[in-house]
């Protein structure tokens, strides 16, 4: 079952990356010449982020939270908005993912939860 879930997630990631790249390319084509190129989006890095992965919890905010929310949406938690605000919906999704991955359920995103939320470093225990 895990292989089919992982294949579905990877397929969804690839489709999302293609859609995001197409949308970004269209938006870039209409932008003024001085606009920077769109961020690289790929199946390997569907939620681009170059910052640190700090400990996050309810009431955290910023780019790391947006990155987390994007990753949670890839896992199927579509009620999570990618708005950079770690509120009760993001916290519930984190707790559900922690439960699915059989790690400590506390709603706090520390090193272990970061590892399990990233598609390339997660483990077979995650059964979302």
**75-125 confidence digits (pLDDT tens):** 999 999 999 999 999 999 999 999 999 999 999 999 999 999 998 888 888
Q: How far apart are CA 99 and CA 117, in angstroms?
A: 12
- pTM (global) more than 0.75: no
Residue 49 lies in a domain: yes
Residue 95 lies in a domain: yes
Residue 22 lies in a domain: yes
Rg (CA), the chain: 15
Residue 63 lies in a domain: yes
- Helix%, strand%, coil% for the chain, nearest 5: 50, 5, 50
Residue 51 belongs to domain spanning: 2-117
Q: What is the pLDDT of residue 120?
A: 87
Phi-psi domain of 92 (left: phi exceeds 0; alpha: psi -120 through 50; beta: other): alpha
Domain of 49, CATH number, reads 1.10.101.10
Residue 19 lies in a domain: yes
Q: Please report which confidence band the pLDDT of residue 55 belongs to, taking 50, 70 and 90 as the band edges.
A: very high
Residue 34 lies in a domain: yes
Residue 17 lies in a domain: yes
């Amino acid at each position: 079952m895990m292989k089919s879930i992982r294949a579905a997630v990877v397929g969804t990631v690839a489709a999302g990356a293609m859609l995001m790249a197409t949308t970004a390319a269209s938006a870039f084509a209409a932008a003024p010449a001085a606009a920077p190129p769109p961020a690289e989006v790929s199946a390997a890095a569907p939620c681009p982020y170059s910052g640190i992965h700090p400990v996050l919890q309810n009431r955290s905010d910023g780019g790391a939270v947006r990155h987390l929310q994007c990753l949670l949406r890839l896992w199927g938690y579509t009620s999570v908005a990618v708005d950079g605000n770690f509120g009760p919906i993001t916290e519930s999704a984190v707790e559900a993912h922690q439960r699915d991955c059989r790690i400590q359920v506390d709603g706090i995103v520390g090193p272990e939860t970061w590892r399990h939320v990233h598609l390339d470093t997660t483990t077979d225990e995650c059964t979302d």
